[in-house]
Amino acid sequence: MPSLSGKVAFITGGGRGIGAAIARRFAREGAAVCITYVTSAQEAASLVADIEREGGRAMALQAEGADMQAIQTTIRTAAEHFGKIDVLVNNAGMLHVDTIDKFPVETMQRMLAVNVAGVFVAIQESVRFMPDGGRVINIGSITSDYVPIAGASVYATTKGALASMTRALARDLGTRGITVNNIQPGRIDTDMNPADGPMAGRLSASIALGHYGEVEDVASLAAFLAGPEAKFITGANMKVDGGTSL
C-alpha cells in the first residue's frame, strides 16, 4: 500500500518547481493534494489534470503568500473539500537579493510576511483541521546558517526564523503527535536557479558532489517525513544540499 494512502496534503507554492515535485510524489504515494499558486495558474491546472489522469485527487487554489486571510481561506476550503488536512507543506517563499544600503524596506517587509508570517498562519490554520499524528513540513534553505553570497541578509534572516519556528512548534504540537520538520535545500535545478544558468558553473564548484540537485531529491525527503516511518522525527532541520554547507 502507498505510504500516504488516505491522507490529504496541503502544499503552498505547489504550481511549479519543488512544490510541484512534492505534489506529484505525494499523489503517487496515495495522498489527495491541494496546491496553492500565485501566478502560475496554467502550470497548477496542468498538474491537477496530470494527477487526476493517473487516478489521484487534486485541486488548485490561488493564494498570495503575503495575504493572511487568503491563506486561511484556502486552507478552510481544502479541509471542507477533502474532510481534513493530514500534511501541510509550506513551500511558498520569496527571494530578493540586494546589499543592505539598497534593500527596499517594503521588499523586506513583504519577505517577512511571505517567508515567516504566512508560514505561521498556515500552520495555525491547518492544525485546526489536522488529526493527531499529522505532519508539518517546512521548506527552508541552507542560508539559515550558511550564506554563500552577499546581499542575502533578509532571505537568510527569514529562513533562520523558519528554522527556529520549526523547533518551537515541534514542542508546541508534540502533545498531539504532530511532527514539525524543516527541509533546507541548497542548489536545486529549478526555473529560478537552473543548473545550466549563467551562475551554475561557479555555484556547482561549491557543492561537494559537484552538481545541482533535482526537485525530486527534496520531494523524496518530504515524502519520507510525511510517512509513517518518520513518526519519531520532529523539530529537525535537514539539509538537502549535496554537501554545499560542509
Q: Which residues are catalytic?
A: 155
CB 137 within 8 A of CB 184: no
Residue in the block written with cell 527571494: 95
Q: How far is CA 129 from the centre of its chain?
A: 19
DSSP β-bridge partners for residue 135: 87, 179
CA distances from 209 to 142, 143, 205 (A): 16, 18, 9
What is the spatial distance between Cα 179 and Cα 194, in angstroms, rounded to a whole number? 32
What is the spatial distance between Cα 158 and Cα 86, in angstroms, rounded to a whole number? 26
**∠217-89-19 over CA atoms, to 5°?**
50
DSSP β-bridge partners for residue 138: 90, 182
